Structure 1
């Protein structure tokens, strides 16, 4: 199995597919967020906040649209973690290079943690209530992310790393707004959670495409070995 360390995942794709993928990264979150802002039936703020917070603060419990954007983000986290786990198992079974296995396994662990944290408010409520301060939890998450980057930087930079960079920027901006302002004013909620959702989409897009490329390469290698 030859890892695609030079061309990036754009390499095997025709120009039309490249434009489609780039358009999805920008168009999907942009269109969805725009629809949430422009719809006339509900206050967008409650669609951005997680469902529990929206139900608690709105004074009007409950509506099915509470936490709409937040829940979609959790679904993207969870789906990406699941795909990375399945890919890691396939690569392990196929005796793929250690670099590919390390990437998919560490991406599964980090993304899975982020999904759990987002879904159950671990760093905001659960772990602080158990005596673990929020800054410590955030620092541990940052350390896990740095470890992931240190383990996989060669493979990441061989791909379209700017997609992951955009995702990391969106997530960092969201966290920064949350930590600096600690505000539930609509404008800051829109900024924080729009940046977060955009970051999740880019994070998921990068990992799903990279995993796809690694699996295709594995299957092609196995098919060539079978023909020989």
Structure 2
């Protein structure tokens, strides 16, 4: 492996890539399917936020309310912690390259999204302060673009197609949120199911990427 930041690889070894990809793409789909087809509860109560489900359900409250939403918050938080830890490691090494910018930006972005989901920022808090939800979601799309631009050369040297799948799913969920307000079971499951699937794939990709950066990025001065 070359000692320059321009050449080190951020792809998984081929012997690992296939089984990891099957798990990363298949497991979230199985979780979403299990949430949809479980026989005990209308699946939309699993996908909606806990507070929203408790407010809208005829009977309050079931232990499974917001289950998928809470899993999503956990994933946002795990990626945020991993990204910020990786940025700290690079900073200690004296690395101020695109890898540092990418991991720092990604860690902060995922951390903010965890807070957004946990506190209903874009759904309740920020609109309550006079900000239109449409503008907030467009701003979040711009944040996603900032994530891509902060280290696009690194991303292109990674298994970027996994990231693309995750972002397409999350982006489709955002598009539905912007254009369609559907509180039916089908509408909620489609929007939040896409969000959960995309977030799971994106999270797995980012954690793998951050790990490879820590392992393979050359130390400053090496």
Deviations 1:155-194 (A, max 9, x none): 1111111111111111111112222220111111111111
* Pairwise CA RMSD: 1.7
Residue 151 (structure 1) shift: 2.0
Instruction: Indicate if the aligned counterparts of 2:170 and 2:198 stay in contact, CA closer than 8 A.
Output: yes
Structure 1: distance between partners of 2:97 and 2:5: 10
Q: In structure 1, what is the equivalent of residue 192 of structure 2?
A: 193
Describe the superposition over 1:200-220 as per-residue Cα deviations: whole angstroms up to 9, x where unpaired. 0111011101110011125xx
Tell me the residue number matched to 1:67. Answer: 66
8 Å CA contact 1:174, 1:196 repeated in 2: yes
Work out whether 1:9 is the aligned partner of 2:8. Answer: no
Q: Deviations over 1:82-125 (max 9, x none)?
A: 11011110110012351111111011111111111122111111
Measure the CA separation in 1 of the matches of 2:10 and 2:81: 23
Quote the residue 2:138 is aligned against: 139
Q: CA deviation at 1:8?
A: 3.5
If the length of structure 2 is used for normalisation, what is the TM-score? Answer: 0.91
Q: Is the Cα contact below 8 Å between 1:85 and 1:108 reproduced in 2?
A: yes
Partners of 2:28 and 2:201 within 8 A in 1: no
C-alpha distance in structure 2 between counterparts of 1:196 and 1:211, whole Å? 22
Map 1:64-213 onto structure 2 (within 5 A).
64-213=63-212
Change (3 A) 1:4 1:210: farther
Alpha-carbon distance, 1:5 to partner: 4.4
Q: Is there any run of 5+ residues in structure 1 with no aligned partner, and where?
A: none
What number of residue pairs does the alignment pair up? 218
Unaligned runs of 5+ in 2: none
Misfit runs of 4+, over 6 Å: none
Larger displacement relative to structure 2 (172-181 or 76-85): 172-181
**Which sits farther off after the overlay, 109-118 or 44-53?**
109-118
Contact 1:3 1:214 in 2 (8 A): no
- The answer to whether residue 41 in structure 2 is matched with residue 39 in structure 1 is no
CA distance in 2, matches of 1:137, 1:34: 30
SS class of match (1:182): coil
2:193 is paired with a residue whose SS is helix
Give the drift of 1:52. 0.8
User: Aligned equivalents of 1:115 and 1:4: distance in 2?
Assistant: 32
TM-score w.r.t. the length of structure 1 is: 0.89
